[in-house]
Chain A
Amino acid sequence: MPPDETDVRLRERLVAGDDDALAEAYDRWANLIHVLAARITDDAAAAEDITQDVFVRLWQAPEAYDPERGALRTWLCMLARSRALDWTRRREARARYHAVATATGAVVPDQPDVDDAVIWRTETKVVREAVQALPDLQREAVQLAYYHGHTYRQVARELNIPEGTAKSRLRLALSNIADRLAAEGILER
């Protein structure tokens, strides 16, 4: 699969300092990044800060994104996820020190009446179903790695399985999700 032409062009414009390119990236993906950050941190203020950080980072160092490695959308998601996991870990560390439960502005996804909510909801449904369709053992492994930021070694320890098994479960799980998303026309085959 060659790099996506639109992503390559957008990256060029960001590198050149085209201000509209940043606004365009924000308008396309802020929704997604914000939901993802909210899902991982379960904190409204953190989700906003992370969304802002992700786009500031994209503007400051667009060269860091390599179109050969995948879509810009994916790169932004993975960046948001890692920032969100960092935030969550810091919160957990703080909580351990202070033994105080942090009051969080709980985030409840799934509110209707958002622009292009129809496409959004359809895609969300497909992704959810793809995750739900996984065998339990694969789903468990993916959720530990993706939402909790565990390495495959930590996943192995957590689930009490050999490391090789953890690796292959993660790979199979993603492969199954990729197949399903391709069948629904969300991912290219």
Chain B
Amino acid sequence: MSEDQNRFIADHVIGLPRSGIRDFFELVAAMKDVISLGIGEPDFTTPWHIREAAIYALEKGRTHYTSNLGLIELRREIANYVGRNFGLEYNPHNEVLVTVGVSEAMDIALRAVLNPGDKVLYQDPCFVSYHPTVMLAHGVGIAIKTEAASGFTLKAEEVKRSWEPGCKVLMINLPCNPTGGVAERKELEEIAKFAVEKDMLVISDEIYAEMTYEGEHVSIGIFPGMRERTIFLHGFSKGWAMTGWRLGYACAPAPLTEAMMKVHQYSMMCASIVAQDAGVEALRNGDEAVKKMRQAYQRRRDLVVRRFNEIGLTCHKPNATFYAFPNITSTGLDSKTFAKRLLEEERVAMVPGTAFGQYGEGFVRCSFATGYDQIVEACNRIERFVNNCK
């Protein structure tokens, strides 16, 4: 009987919410001919030269474990890339750890630093796994509100307002999934000062950095006093269209890297060597492919944002990521009802904003990582749906 078996399950796992995306996925899977704008991954296949590197690895019989930290060739390339593009210097020998995607990097970072009951500040709306990952590490999550009025930028004032005694970690995702929000340099500098003042560790997930269309991408780790208190997370899924390879990394001062490595060593052990070889090729020769994909996303973003605003769903222009986060309150529907009815009546899938946190109500996430023609058609259907709601 299920009741009997539940007694074996840990309290903090029973308390975990199911991902709102998962629920919605099941609804969509039951339908046919859906245009999905609910896909959080590039519609491009990994560039061929990267796939080719993986085939070559297999041909050479590279089928074994690697060091727990990852292949040294890859760690060197990562250190070079992060130095070149983010202005952060790390020693590839003891400050770079290759992980199974950024999700794992996030998990081991939190597990390595949190004691039960430690508090973690995180922006909201945010990627679905942030709060649950904090809970799994026996931490207590505290949401920092970001707002549409400011394009969902992370504001220092809001970080300060949300802080309370016992906050050990500030977790940020800039550019942000699902809002496309970023933070201005001066805000980030102010947040950095506050992190130093309150002696917080900052876990900075910058997986969407390559999809920055306007302005500069600034990493919080570059500000005074931040290098020693920042864990920088990045990976290959988005920029290089490598979601299925599950390849990410964490860069941090040696003691933090060592702590994360211990957790990684006893769980994942190491990332797949084939994926790591592909990662080396991606960083060595992938810049042009990344640029081309970014140009395609930017084009679609301009279309989607313009169309949403024409339709009457107010939508800020995301400076980065491949997500738009339009406000759907003009329809009089809540975000779950909007997404469900849009799916049923017009066969267009978008994810309700509430899947990404309490402050996501009133919004839906639209991924524009899909073909231009498909987006044109989806927008026409959304327009018809919104007009019917009036």
Q: Do A and B bind each other?
A: no
Chain A residues at the B interface, C-beta cutoff of 8 Å: none
